[in-house]
Amino acid sequence: MGFWIAALTQGFAFVALAWGVYLSARVLRFADITPDGSFTFGAAVAAALLVQDTHPLIATAVAVAAGMLAGYVTGVLHTRLGVSDLLSGILVMTALYSVNLHVMGRSNISLLDTKTLATPVLTLFPATASWPDDVTFGAIFLGVALLLGSLLTWYLRTDFGIALRSVGDNPAMITAQGVDRRRMIELGLALANGLVALSGALIAQYQGFADVAMGVGTLVAGMAAVILGETLRARGRSLLLTILMVAAGALVFRLLVALALRVGLNPIDLKLMTAVFVLGALALPRLRRRAAVTVR
Amino acid sequence: MIAVRGLEKSFVQPGGELVPALCGVDLSMAAGEFLTVIGTNGSGKSTLLNALAGGFPPDAGTIEIDGKDVTRSPEHRRAALIGRVFQDPYKGSCPSMTVAENLRMAELRGTRRGLRLGLNAETRTRYRDRLARLRMRVENRLDALMGTLSGGQRQAITLIMATLRRPALLLLDEHTAALDPRAAERVLLVTREVVQEDGLTTMMVTHSMEEALELGERTIMMHRGAVMADLSGEERRATRVSDLLERFAGLRHTIEYTIQHRAPPPA
């Protein structure tokens, strides 16, 4: 039981990451690999601040701001300097590796003795002291996800959000509508990587450490969640449903990972399996089409 | 009021050759004028529309819209003044957003987009009423995804999108060419109504000479990057499609002569 609760708690922390990847990959249709760096960046900034006894809420907020800055830089590299979307992200992700080491001062920071987001919750609701850590964190992360989900749904329905969504949907047309495509990409990527960094900050506090290598494979994991969400969504197309299903995708992904490890998958193979899964999801429509052509 | 003076533009071909697309276009339009543009392939009619919309900076010349010199203003800024419908019905709207969201986005063309919810009861009612006037049964599809509508429906809605916020200049780039005949006819009818009701200054490029003479009150003929004929009033009323064809045939010689004797455009 505790095993599943731990997976679910991780899943709730992953929801922000899934939404971030959904924003860049699906809404903006920008191949952004910054998340592999910005996830760690969020964790590193939060951890560095927490060991200096910063209030956990402030530490987490600064981590989000750091992630937004990383995304913004990726956007600027692409829109103002003409670097391809993929390479912009790779450059920022690579640079962030050094930045993260600088921020942490070493490759690993333990958060076992520091305050975390669970600390203020324990003060506010003393009853939660008897809960296992997993449940406390799970409740916090669920709350964060609900709040974020409402904000995101509202945001994408505002006049600004509608323009942001149009950037990926029809880039030729938005300029004719007076939307500055470059500005939208910069702000959209900032938002996406802010969400990714939040995920990193939450995971670090939950697992009790930040590590410079923890971001490897973040984008692929996020893509897996988005793809699972789209499969779950099936035919429904409303914005709210999509956002909910991407979140569900993050949960299903973490549960699948937990299940795979439970039945004896070597943790070393986890990223390989994730990559194969995403590849399969990407290649399947093409293989199916080819099969259909051959049959005919 | 639109004033185009001495507009020139050349494009570099893949081989590095400089090909002139606009060779000194002079054109002025009165407010509320409906102008149709015809010309052979590569005559520069679409390039002229793109230049007006701000798709590229011209090599020489100026463009004035409503007294403002917009020659150097980037496309997304100039959009505040310009409504545009493309030939491709899929180019003018966002397929995975709803009809209402598309209309909202278009209504805010060229304005600041804030953090207010885009759609509410008031905007929805207004959009529904506006679409009802198309008589194409799209008014009940406000929440349908744009991509699920037919080409004709999309193009008619794109026209509404281009005019929902009154443009100083409406540009129509062969906007019925990709539609089936019935849809094309419908969209043309709608075009006529919208332009007339709102008294919009309109420039419509068309490949159909009948359309060119039938719609609007003035027709220009373009060839090799220049305006070769400018018909209005009595002269235009007396012009038949056969006359236009004759003029095209007659033009070829003079033009080739003119082009060859032009100074090369500045790089």
- Which tens digit of pLDDT belongs to each residue from A264-291? 899 899 999 999 988 988 888 788 777 7
Least confident of A225-239, B91-105, B142-156: A225-239
Q: What is the pLDDT of residue B258?
A: 46
Residue A104 within a domain = yes
Residue A76 within a domain = yes
Name the domain count of chain A: 1
Q: What is the pLDDT of residue B108?
A: 94
Residue A285 within a domain = no
Residue B108 to residue A169, Cβ atoms within 8 A: no
pLDDT tens across A175-221, in order? 888 899 999 999 999 999 999 999 999 999 999 999 999 999 999 99
Q: Residue range B181-208: average pLDDT?
A: 93
Q: What letter would DSSP give residue B203?
A: E
Residue A232's pLDDT band (cuts 50, 70, 90): confident
Q: What is the pLDDT of residue B267?
A: 46
Nearest CB to B108: which of A159, A169, A237?
A: A159
Report how far residue A151's alpha carbon sits from residue A172's, in angstroms, rounded to the nearest whole number.
Answer: 28
Range of the domain at A172: 2-213
| Number of CB atoms found within 10 A of residue B145's CB | 17
Residues of A with Cβ-Cβ distance to B114 under 8 angstroms = 158-160
Quote the tokens at residue B133.
Answer: 């006037």
Residue B40's pLDDT band (cuts 50, 70, 90): confident
pLDDT tens across A81-107, in order? 999 999 999 999 999 999 999 999 999
For residue A2, give the 3-state DSSP assignment.
helix
- What's the mean per-residue pLDDT of chain B? 89
Three-state DSSP string of A63-129: HHHHHHHHHHHHHHHHHCCCCCHHHHHHHHHHHHHHHHHHHHCCCEEECCCCCCCHHHHHHHCHHHH
> What ipTM was predicted for this assembly?
0.86
Residue B253's pLDDT band (cuts 50, 70, 90): low
Residue A240 within a domain = no
Give every CB contact of residue A83 below 8 A, 6+ residues apart in sequence: A77, A91
Question: Quick check: A240 and A247 in contact, CB under 8 A?
Answer: no
Report how far residue B32's alpha carbon sits from residue B194's, in angstroms, rounded to the nearest whole number.
Answer: 12
Q: Residue range B71-96: average pLDDT?
A: 91
Q: In terms of CA atoms, which chain B residue is nearest residue A157?
A: B117
pTM check: above 0.90: no
Report how far residue B254's alpha carbon sits from residue A73's, in angstroms, rounded to the nearest whole number.
Answer: 55
Residue A135 within a domain = yes
Residue A169 to residue B94, Cβ atoms within 8 A: yes
Residue A241 within a domain = no
Least confident of A46-60, B198-212, B252-266: B252-266
Q: What is the pLDDT of residue A294?
A: 63
Q: Residue range B113-127: average pLDDT?
A: 93
User: What is the sign, positive or negative, of the torsion defined by CA atoms of B51, B56, B60, B63?
Assistant: positive
Residues of B with CB under 8 A from a CB of A: 53, 75-77, 79-80, 82, 84, 86, 91-97, 101, 104-106, 108-111, 113-119, 145
Question: Quick check: B134 and A185 in contact, CB under 8 A?
Answer: no
Helices H / strands E in chain B, number of each: 9, 10
Nearest CB to B76: which of A162, A165, A179?
A: A179
Residue A262 within a domain = no
Residue A232 within a domain = no
A173 near B CB under 8 A: yes
pLDDT tens across A100-144, in order? 999 999 999 999 999 999 889 888 888 888 888 889 999 999 999
